[in-house]
Amino acid sequence: MKIPVYARPSGIFYIHTRIDRRQFKRSLGTRDKATAMLRALNVLKALALMDKNKLRTFEIDLSRGVFKSEEGNDEDRKALIEAMKLLPPVTIQSQPEARTSTNTKSLRLLELLDKFFSIRKKLTQATIDAYKANINEFSDFLKNPQISKIIGSDITRFQEYLLTKNNTTRTIDNKTAVIRALFNFAIKQGYYFDTNPAQNRTLMTNREKTREQYAIFYLEEILSIYSSENLKPHKGKDLDFYWVLVLALITGCRVGELTTLRKSQIVESEGIHFIRIEKSKTDAGIREIPIPEVIYKDFKVFVDKQTTDKIFKYKERDGKGAGNAVGKKFSRYLQSLKIEREKLVFHSIRKFFNNFLKDNGISTELRCQIIGHEFEGTNNQIYSDKYPLPFVAEQITKAQHALLVKIKYFKTEF
């Protein structure tokens, strides 16, 4: 028999059932699942002994052994007293809330993080730094407890604490996602035996997430950004910024992928020049992106002048990638052009490129391969390889050429 018991967000377990078509929902006064199940069984047994024809609604607090009748007549009180006599002492005497599982010794939070890193060896430095920062913050808040003592209400309190520190809801959701991933790991590895305390703790709704997404540039905004007149000062004073902008438009690469490029990633094969992205959080992010020949020839002049394998001047800071400086300068550039729509950032160029490919008839599967997104489906993930480079170049170069025509790259001293 499945016992109708569930935990509220506070971590307290409740019994919720129906008796003669009437809902019966009461607190079991504990956060320990085993104790809750025992108390629920005794509640059901007590209710079964009552006269169903005279069933009333009662307030029951098993942690204190208190039963209250809705109408308060003598007949109900007698029935309740008889039912209470059947309950074992453990269910009617005062008990502290159980916050731990039956395992009295477990890893502490930071020890769990060390276990996570020791097994997940292929994490990027940015991911490692993010996990360290988020879990250390959570650990400091809870005083590095044993993981068996962490419950859902601790996650709630941490989220409320983050709000007082002016974290946005998106940031809080991202930090909660790290905690959730760590506890999923703990459950899978057998370090934690309860349900994930960070499960279903997302603050933002899907609709809110959609509203918070970065916007896509309009074509007229792209034409302004990439006009010869507007870009000429940057081409003269900051070729690093200039070439990151140009490559972003015709490859759709993330800013961090471009700013960390090395000469060894500019490759030629079968007469095709392309950028090889070698490191990514996902397998889909590891990819090859063709470069139009006219762009390659101009870009190669800049590349050949660099004295090290690293192409651009940007330095990685605090594990956050090397694109922060570009993002800030791009924001100032947009302001100078009076492009002031909300949620327009450097990443919006990537979204524009993807949309431009779509408008030029490039399939979803091929767009995912170029952009570096997962394309889900058994056929694609299990039975199919990626499109070969010659086919990709044939399809993508046409769209890239059309985009270069749009911004008049061929008609000006761009």
Domains in the chain (CATH in brackets) are 5-92 (no CATH), 109-208 (1.10.150.130), 219-406 (1.10.443.10)
Q: CA-to-CA distance for 48 and 42, rounded, in angstroms?
A: 10
Listed in sequence order, the residues at least 6 apart from 204 whose beta carbon sits closer than 8 Å to its beta carbon are 169, 170, 173, 212
Angle at 91 between CA 87 and CA 96, to 5 degrees: 170
What distances in angstroms separate CA 27 from CA 79, 84, 216, one per listed residue? 20, 16, 49
**13 close to 36: Cβ distance less than 8 angstroms:** yes
DSSP 108: B
Comparing C-alpha atoms, which of 371, 224, 229, 194 is closest to residue 288?
371
The Cα–Cα gap between 53 and 66 comes to 23
The type of residue at 126 is A
pLDDT the model gives residue 23: 78
Which residues are CB-neighbours of 8 under 8 A, at least 6 positions away? 14
User: Rounded CA gap, 224 and 176, in Å?
Assistant: 40
Name residue 63's amino acid: S
Residue of 222, 367, 229, 350 lying closest to 287 (CA atoms):
367
3-class state of residue 368 by DSSP:
helix
pLDDT given at position 315: 85
What pLDDT, on a 0 to 100 scale, did the predictor assign at position 100?
44
The conformation of residue 275, written as its DSSP 8-state character, comes to E
Could you tell me if 342 and 215 are in contact, meaning their C-beta atoms sit under 8 angstroms apart? Answer: yes
**String of b and e for 156-184 (b: at least 16 CB within 10 Å)?**
bebbeebeeeeeebeebbebbebbbbbbe
Supply the pLDDT for residue 298. Answer: 93
266-285 b/e (C-beta count within 10 Å ≥ 16 → b): beeeeebbbbebeeeeeebb
pLDDT for residue 225: 97
Q: What pLDDT sits at residue 4?
A: 83
Question: What pLDDT is stored for residue 102 in this prediction?
Answer: 44
pLDDT the model gives residue 74: 57
Instruction: Show pLDDT as tens, one digit a residue, over the chain (414 residues).
Output: 577 888 887 778 888 887 777 778 888 888 888 888 888 888 887 777 665 555 555 555 555 555 555 555 556 555 555 555 555 554 444 444 444 444 446 899 999 999 999 999 888 887 899 999 999 999 999 999 999 999 999 999 999 999 999 999 989 999 999 999 999 999 999 999 999 999 998 888 877 776 778 899 999 999 999 998 999 889 889 999 999 999 999 999 999 999 999 999 999 999 999 999 998 877 888 999 999 999 999 999 999 999 999 999 998 765 556 678 999 999 999 999 999 999 999 999 999 999 999 999 999 999 999 999 888 654 455 446 789 999 999 999 999 999 999 998 875 555
